[in-house]
Amino acid sequence: MLREKSKERIILGIDPGTSVMGYGLVKEVKSQVELICMGVVKMDHLDDHPSKLKHIFEKTVALIDQYHPDCLSIEAPFYGKNIQVMLKLGRAQGVAMAAALSRGLPIFEYSPRKIKQSITGNGNAVKEQVASMLKTLLKFTESPEFLDATDGLAVAVCHSFQKMTAGPGNKKSYSGWDAFIKDNNKRISGNPSKDGTKKAG
């Protein structure tokens, strides 16, 4: 690809959600990262969960077809006390990943803590801190209506930063369904992890 020869790369970052999905796109030129766009996909007008999943898939494919990213960086679902919320977030993430795989994009998955650590230096940073640091890093002033937009952007920037700090355990990547299924056999088959609380990413 031309972008590979010129050492350019476009990264699509997604923060999955079933009410609002945040996304951001950045262009990486050598060690520089530039903002392309960010935004949200709202789904609160949709009544049922399958319709929301369909909407996530279609919007993710549309973003890929419009901006032609080289990869997808996505936030892994976190394990919380509400199992139903966790399951819905996992489905939302899976559908976005399926959309990327349908277009042949490699996928990189990061934990929420890893993303915050990469952007702010603090794995426990709040959304506002992440947004503020992104404004400084990418030199933009507008504040999005939803912080989900900057959350999506943070996932993309986090992946860009990994090439400079790459090391074991920093990310999980999937180049296709076979690789994803092999690494996530327990998640797909419904078998719990050994301690039942393992985080993805």
Indicate which residues carry an active-site annotation. Answer: 15, 75, 148
At residue 183, φ and ψ (nearest 5 deg) are -80, -20
Residue with the two structure tokens 């890093």: 137
Helix axes 112-120, 147-165, angle to 10 degrees: 80
Instruction: Enumerate the β-bridge partners of residue 35.
Output: 26
- Alpha-carbon distance 85 to 59, whole Å? 21
- Which string of DSSP letters, residue by residue, matches 82-94? -HHHHHHHHHHHH
93: number of Cβ within 10 Å: 22
- DSSP symbols for 100-141: HHHTT--EEEE-HHHHHHHHHS-TT--HHHHHHHHHHHHT--
Q: Which residues pair with 107 in a beta bridge?
A: 72, 174
